[in-house]
Amino acid sequence: MKPQRKSSAVKLIGISFFASVCICAIVIFVANDVFSLVPCEREETVIVPEHAGTDEISSLLAEKGLIRFPIAYRLYAKFRSFGENYLSGEFQLNASMSYDELRMALSPKKGSRAQTKITIPEGLTTDEIIELFVSAGIGTKEGFVNAINHGGDFGYDFISEIPENEGRTYRLDGYLFPDTYFFYVDSTETEVISKLLAAFNRKFDEELRAAAKEKGYTVDEILRIASIVEREAYYRSDMPAVASVFLNRLKSKRFSRMESDATVKYIKTLSGDTSAPTAEDIDTLNHPYNTYKIKGLPPGAICSPGYDAIFSAVYPAETDYFYFVSAKDKSTVFSRTYAEHLRAVASLR
């Protein structure tokens, strides 16, 4: 054999060997993914939306690190005739599960607990949140009120530290975190509240709590401020400045009252009156939540604030504003003095 031909043959053999090694490695990696040959004990929470098919399921599983090769999952699902019928809801899945085990965990089963999706918008009162669940067939109003007011601390320090303020509407006002959840339709009221508090604990994390404490505020005080910010600011971008107005007033010797219309509207809502607050309401409603009458913070949060309002209460904008008014487009106009505020109100009218 000529040296040139011999060299070409050696190269061809080398390339073939390298290709074979690569193919074998790919087969091993994919086989490990399909059959979970190397177990990994790690759990992930996967939320499957309604009407999700194999393509979406494979992407969700890959995002959570439960599978490595979504294309392989799709091909395997087609080979095994998995079909497109998956359960929707929230699932705890283990990284050691094979493709077949993952499919079984997400498949409709006889006698399986039905789940329903509940979305709690930012700014709802505790009563409105209770009504959401009751209207969805989960629990009773009496059961929720009992769990909220007498359910213990649920294992959280921030619950045990809630002050027993006279006139507070519900003990957990402000703590029922607004978000989208999946619940079993036969969930107990305590299970529901536990899930909402777990979400609150994740969002209002230790870093935020430490920042609030450093500024001299408790978790409950921040929630009371944030709840007012949530109801006063229509746009998220206005929340830091709105928060600064109320915090400036709380710190100032010139202003002993927060003077929030949202707290007056909350008082009216408690009695079933959904109309806008009037000047007469502000003057005549002698109530612990009327921040035109009381000094400092109301005894509890007036709604369940979202993350942006909470963050704004902990990290407000640095301003010298003491007044604001809402424009017709629902943006907020801020003022430093009462004279400026009156001019702003007049211009908007």
pLDDT digits (tens, 9 = 90+) for 180-227: 999 988 899 999 999 999 999 999 999 999 999 999 999 999 999 999
pLDDT digits (tens, 9 = 90+) for 159-168: 999 999 999 9
> What is the rounded average pLDDT of the residues 217-245?
98
Q: Which is nearest to 138 in space by CA: 175, 173, 184? A: 184
Give the pTM.
0.77
Q: Which is nearest to 291 in space by CA: 256, 252, 319, 251? A: 256
pLDDT digits (tens, 9 = 90+) for 6-15: 555 545 554 5
The answer to whether the CB of 266 falls within 8 A of the CB of 303 is yes
Q: Which is nearest to 231 in space by CA: 329, 178, 306, 129? A: 306
Q: CA–CA separation, 93 vs 110, rounded Å?
A: 20
pLDDT digits (tens, 9 = 90+) for 82-95: 888 888 888 888 88
Q: Which is nearest to 254 in space by CA: 319, 332, 317, 337? A: 337
Task: Please tell me the predicted confidence (pLDDT) of residue 55.
Answer: 94
Which pLDDT band holds residue 289 (cuts at 50, 70, 90)? Answer: very high
